[in-house]
Amino acid sequence: MAIKDYIRERFFPHIWCPGCGHGMVLNGLLRAIEKIGLDKNEIVMVSGIGCSARISGYVDFHTMHTIHGRALAFATGIKMSRPELKLIVPMGDGDALAIGGNHFIHAARRNMDMTAIVINNRVYGMTGGQFSPLSGYGTMSTTSPYSNIDHAFDVVELSVAAGASFVGRTTTYHAQQMADILGQAIIHKGFSVVEIMSQCPTYFGRKNRLGSAIDMLEHFKENTTPIGSKAKQKNPDLIERGIFVQKKIPEYCDEYKKIIERAVKD
Footprint of other proteins (CB under 8 A): 11, 40-42, 44, 46, 56-57, 60-67, 70, 73-82, 84-85, 102-103, 106, 256, 259-260, 262-264, 266
User: CA torsion 110→115→120→126, rounded to 10°?
Assistant: -100
Burial state string for 86-119 with b = 16 or more CB within 10 A and e = fewer than 16? bbbbbbbbbbbbbbbbebbbebbebbbbbbbbbb
Asked whether the beta carbons of 126 and 101 are under 8 A apart, the reply is no
Q: How far is the CB of 105 from other proteins (least distance, A)?
A: 8
Q: How far is the CB of 179 from other proteins (least distance, A)?
A: 22
Q: How far is the CB of 163 from other proteins (least distance, A)?
A: 13
First to last CA, the chain: 47
Asked whether the beta carbons of 132 and 123 are under 8 A apart, the reply is yes
Q: How far is the CB of 219 from other proteins (least distance, A)?
A: 33
Q: How far is the CB of 139 from other proteins (least distance, A)?
A: 29
Of 112 and 196, CB closest to other proteins = 112
Of 56 and 135, CB closest to other proteins = 56
Q: How far is the CB of 29 from other proteins (least distance, A)?
A: 16
Helix axes 175-187, 22-36, angle to 10 degrees: 50
Asked whether the beta carbons of 203 and 219 are under 8 A apart, the reply is no
Q: How far is the CB of 263 from other proteins (least distance, A)?
A: 3
- What is the CA angle 175-52-220, rounded to 5? 35
Of 16 and 61, CB closest to other proteins = 61
Taking phi first (over 0 means left), then psi (-120 to 50 degrees means alpha), and beta for anything else, what does residue 49 get? beta
Of 112 and 123, CB closest to other proteins = 112
Report the DSSP beta bridge partners of residue 114: 191
Total length of the chain: 266
| Amino acid sitting at position 266 | D
